[in-house]
Structure 1
Amino acid sequence: MTGRTEQRSPCVVVTGVEGAGKSTVGRLLAERLGVPFADGDDFHLPAAIAKMSAGQPLDDADRMPWLESIGRWLHERDVAGTGAVVACSALRRRYRGVLRAACPGAFFLHLTADRKLLAQRLGLRTGHFMPTSLLDSQLATLEPLEPEERGAELDAAPSPDRIADLAVGLLEQAL
């Protein structure tokens, strides 16, 4: 975000279900903004990874330590003024609330796509602990951003570069 050196760098949470492109878009967005990037998957406890790997969806007790850890990471970068981008599903409003409590100025960039595109992408993905079989549980859990939540939705169908460019434009307008 050139020309805005007087303003603090934003903290952005790239949200959505598996296969939406959160990590890919998040990395590109962080590069464009010149801020640190973190993948929410890296914050999961080993027991949660094992549960998902076995095809079992996480419950709120599994998610809370994960969300709190991501929130601490965002808070540290917000306090330091560096800004940050993190890829995190944050499927429910209350999950986003945990992140907002840690970083009140967080901007949520929600990537949306239809089930067919998501399943297609997941079929091509290799080496990830989360199986395609959990897509339907994620879609059932998903609560889209509410009008009063600070953020925006973007279609996940275009190229990741295009989405990152659109996201930069949205952030420049919003901040």
Structure 2
Amino acid sequence: MKQPVEHLVLMGVAGCGKTTAAANLHAALGWPVAEADDFHPQANIDKMSQGVPLTDADRRPWLDSLRDWMSEQAASGTKTVVTCSALKRAYRDLLSQADGRVLFIHLVAEQDELRERMEHREGHFMPPSLLPSQFATLEPLADDEDGVTVVSRATPEETFGAILAALEAAAPA
């Protein structure tokens, strides 16, 4: 029997709607939100700002710090919403080591749609030029992973409705 969820991790390539969905989940559930981007060391931000994709070695300390934060929250009885690209199975496996059940919500959309979204957003260090490398790196959720895939809809409200429906289906029986 599945345990109740302690951590919801909104995953997917840049521009798929992780931050907006996290804000909607926070409003609905009251759970604190952690933006994985805020856990990046400055060296990673500098690389991405220059259009240089990160390596797995670059990502490891970042993912470790995010996992540790999730465990700290669970130890204090706090459930969380996390935004993290979590593009590879190995990254999700590492995040799944956090204390408590970690459920991944993979938000998906077409690359052209995401590029357009990214070209119109402000204040983010990830340039649209890195989107193809994200798609090349992406390993979709496998059947044995604790997660659901949600197709991004025409509006954030419709996407949020699809997320809620997916969460209901993933809840313990």
Shared fold per TM-score greater than 0.5: yes
Alignment of 1:10-29 (within 5 A): 10-29=6-25
Shift of 1:123: 1.1
The answer to whether residue 38 in structure 2 is matched with residue 35 in structure 1 is no
Task: Tell me how far apart the structure 1 counterparts of residues 93 and 146 of structure 2 sit (CA, whole Å).
Answer: 11
Letter in structure 1 aligned against 2:102: A
Which amino acid counterpart does residue 107 of structure 1 have in structure 2?
A: L
Q: How many Å separate the matches in 2 of 1:13 and 1:126? A: 23
- Aligned partner of 1:82 in structure 2 is 78
From 95, 105, 110, the counterpart of 1:109: 105
User: Which string of whole-angstrom CA distances, capped at 9 and with x for unpartnered residues, describes residues 35-89 of structure 1?
Assistant: 1111111000000000000100000111001111111111122222221001000
- After superposition, the CA RMSD in angstroms is 1.5
CA distance, structure 2, for counterparts of residue 49 and residue 84 of structure 1 = 24
Determine if contact 2:106/2:147 at 8 Å carries over to the other structure: yes
Q: Which residue of 2 aligns with 1:4?
A: none
Checking the alignment, whether the CA contact within 8 Å between 1:9 and 1:35 is kept in structure 2 is: no
Deviation at 1:157, TM superposition (A): 3.0
Aligned length: 169
User: Residues of 1 paired with 2:160 and 2:25: CA distance?
Assistant: 5
8 Å Cα contact 1:13-1:88 kept in structure 2 = yes
Secondary structure in 2 aligned to 1:12? Answer: strand
Answer yes or no: is the 8 Å Cα contact 2:5–2:102 preserved in 1. no
**Distance of 1:19 and 1:8 partners within structure 2:** 29
* Secondary structure, counterpart of 2:149 in structure 1: strand
Deviation at 1:159, TM superposition (A): 1.7
Tell me if the contact between 2:41 and 2:62 (Cα under 8 Å) persists in the aligned partners.
yes
| Identical residues among aligned pairs (%) | 46
Rounded to whole Å, the distance in 1 between the matches of 2:39 and 2:157 is: 25
- Give the conservation status (yes or no) of the 8 Å contact 1:9–1:82: no
Unaligned stretches of 5+ in structure 1? 1-6
Matched AA of 1:43: F
